[in-house]
Amino acid sequence: MNLTVALARLLIFPGILFAVPAAWFFLWVERKSVALMQERIGPPFMQPFFDFVKLLGKTTPVRNGPGGLLMQAWPLVAVSAAAGAVGLLPVLPSSGGFEGDLILLLALLEIPSICIIAAGFSSRSLFAEIGSAREAVLSVSYNVVFLLAILSIAASQHTFRLEALAQLPVSPLRYLGILAIVVCLPAKLHINPFSLPNAEQEIYSGPLTEYAGAELAMWELSHGLEWVASAGLVATLAIPHFASWSVDVLVFVAVSFGIVLLLSVLAAATARLAIDTTVRFYWQCTLIFACLIMVLTISSTLFTRVQS
């Protein structure tokens, strides 16, 4: 990938110029879907953007010392990582990329979660520290399945390059891995039934309790960009490329929208699970998907070698 293509993907499409409006749109879809499921009117279409602008205009609490600087840095790092993850998605055919960019994408997707954990402990708030501890436990629980599913898909296709994965035909094994990834997304995006880190009825806003103003606006933008990156990753793996770039873009947006809508409806239809139930779910139930994927991947690889 040359520098021009890399900058175009990061800054224009599917990068910042597309990802930021898409983040606000997906946040609106999430809130509107939950409202309709609960027989409420819900927010107007532009509400996430208005909330972002309103928060930018509010005063941020003055914090002295290294802890204050760290609290200012965490949301900026989270936004940068989420935007970088979106920029790596191979939406268009022949969009470049490099060998191993899937590993970089996975690392960038994990940085916002790490930043949330660090932000809660940096604030020295009891509620924020409880939320960060929950986020850490939840992250360890679902990441075993999430990472194994993606790496198994890549290993079964013998490539860790995103563009190559997007162009290869979709197999039943790949769909099984995609199903495991989708099951992990509610925990990754902090929505019901796995919204433990930010349980408002118990710990206010969890790790973000002490945040306000522009810093909180950056956290909201980071959450929206995580929606775009996570839904876009599933759309990239599930839908092969077509001959026309315009069709690729429309299908990418439509599938991403469908994933956001599906997860939002699931969040509205379920209640928050306790931390022990969540850990048990991922370690006992969903881990079966990852183990099955690994077994099938190894069997497929051995079968291919025997044939050759």
Q: What is the pLDDT of residue 100?
A: 82
Least confident of 95-99, 100-104, 217-221, 228-232: 95-99
Could you give the C-alpha distances from 45 to 35, 51, 218, in angstroms and in order? Answer: 13, 12, 20
Q: Is the pLDDT of residue 201 over 70?
A: no
Give the C-alpha separation, 207 to 98, whole Å.
35
CA-atom Rg of the chain in angstroms? 20
Give the C-alpha separation, 260 to 34, whole Å.
11
Least confident of 24-33, 106-115, 275-284: 275-284
Enumerate the domain spans of the chain.
3-307
Mean pLDDT of 99-110: 91
Give the C-alpha separation, 296 to 71, whole Å.
44
Query: Rounded to two decimals, what is the model's pTM?
Result: 0.90
pLDDT tens-digit map of 4-45: 777 777 778 888 899 999 999 999 999 999 899 888 999 999
Short-list 174, 10, 147, 179, CA closest to 80 = 10
Residue 111 confidence class, pLDDT cut points 50, 70, 90: very high
Short-list 59, 187, 196, 184, CA closest to 127 = 196
Short-list 3, 18, 17, CA closest to 256 = 18
More confident: 190 or 6: 190
Give the C-alpha separation, 224 to 202, whole Å.
24
Short-list 165, 137, 151, 302, CA closest to 237 = 165
190 Cβ contact partners less than 8 Å away, ≥ 6 residues apart: 197, 198, 223
